[in-house]
Amino acid sequence: MTEQRPQTPAAPPVHDTRRPAVIGLAVVLLLILGGLLLVHVLHHMSQIQDCALEGRTNCAPVDPAGSGG
């Protein structure tokens, strides 16, 4: 008689559990960068609106590199 051993179930394949965390981190970083860009643009627009509300006629930013001399 041959002795039969009970078969143990095979271990499930181990998946890389860091991939979702890295994807989540990338999404969060993109949202932060987008928020910072939005804050920068809104601040610039606010400065132009403040200038216009003060009654000034030339509220465009001065570009010192563009002046020839």
Sequence-separated (6 or more) residues with CB below 8 Å from residue 59: 48, 51, 52
CA distance 49 to 52: 5
pLDDT tens per residue, range 13-47: 776 688 899 999 999 999 999 999 999 999 999 99
- pTM comes to 0.58
* 37-59: average pLDDT: 90
- The residue ranges of every structural domain in the chain are 32-56
